[in-house]
Structure 1
Amino acid sequence: MLPADWIPHRRPDDREHIGWIRPDGDGWVAVSLLGHALTEPVDWLDAEEALDATGLSWLGDVWMLEGDGVEPIRVRLVEVTPERVVVQTDDFGAIDAPVVRFELPWPAPARLRPRRSDDPDERVVFGPA
């Protein structure tokens, strides 16, 4: 549930919601749509700048979903609301690829994370020659 003291922040140009700013002592913390803090307590303008700099492009990125005792799997964000986060296995742009959806709590758990360069890449079918 979204705390009552979180203030929605919108992009200045198109008013698209890109996160929240929440009070923290004498400062403010920028919070992503996933519910994660993007800054330590800073002044209001710095929190706005952090959200504006982050934007929404990360929503289209590949993410990794870690499980118990299995390799992380590539996923894409499908839905992000203060009620839930829905991801699905990466279909690599194929309209007919089978996908599996996972519903996660919000804020998104740590097992959902951005892809790192050392993560497995299912697009590699054959190893090096």
Structure 2
Amino acid sequence: MEEDWIEHRRPDDGERVGWMKPVDSGFVAIDVLGRPRTGVVDWLLAEETLDELGLAYLADPHELRLDDGSWLRVRIAEVSPSAVRVKKDDWGDMNATQIFYTVSFPVTEDRLRPLLR
């Protein structure tokens, strides 16, 4: 997270849904993974974008690029402005060994991406 990013929280519950990054005379909406979600827009559109985006996308399956270049299906476990923790998707198997990975913030799509369907 950059120092000039302005935190945005949902008005109804106060949950952080991203930041607005000042750029020129406008703002870029940044999601909680640190990814830009708009180009340069006005304040209101940046807020609306983050409010509409919400956090539901965090529950979707993702793919993590491993050091050997292969992709592993994962679920996002924790998100903070310093790192994102993901766990190998075990499809709810209670007996599966929990394997976690830490991804640097901001997340880049060449490291962690939504699962291609």
Q: TM-score, normalised by structure 1?
A: 0.84
* SS in structure 2 of the partner of residue 12 of structure 1: coil
2:64 is equivalent to residue 60 of structure 1: no
Q: TM-score, normalised by structure 2?
A: 0.92
CA distance in 2, matches of 1:22, 1:28: 5
* SS in structure 2 of the partner of residue 88 of structure 1: strand
Match of 1:81 in 2: 80
Task: Give ranges in structure 2 of 5+ residues lacking alignment.
Answer: none
Alignment: residue pair count: 115
**Percent of pairs identical after alignment?**
45
Which one-letter code corresponds to 1:116 in the other structure?
Answer: L
Match of 1:12 in 2: 11
CA distance in 1, matches of 2:94, 2:52: 32
Which one-letter code corresponds to 1:97 in the other structure?
Answer: A
Cα displacement string for residues 13-54 of structure 1 (whole angstroms, at most 9, x for unaligned residues): 111111001100011010011111000000111101110111
CA distance in 2, matches of 1:21, 1:109: 18
What root-mean-square deviation, in Å, do the aligned CA atoms of Structure 1 and Structure 2 show?
1.2
Larger radius of gyration: 1
Match of 1:116 in 2: 116
Task: Give ranges in structure 1 of 5+ residues lacking alignment.
Answer: 118-129
* SS in structure 1 of the partner of residue 58 of structure 2: helix
- Offset of 1:99 from its aligned partner? 2.7
2:105 is equivalent to residue 106 of structure 1: yes
Q: Which has the higher strand share?
A: 2
Match of 1:126 in 2: none
Poorly superposed stretches of 4+, deviation over 4 Å: none
- Offset of 1:78 from its aligned partner? 1.1
Match of 1:31 in 2: 30
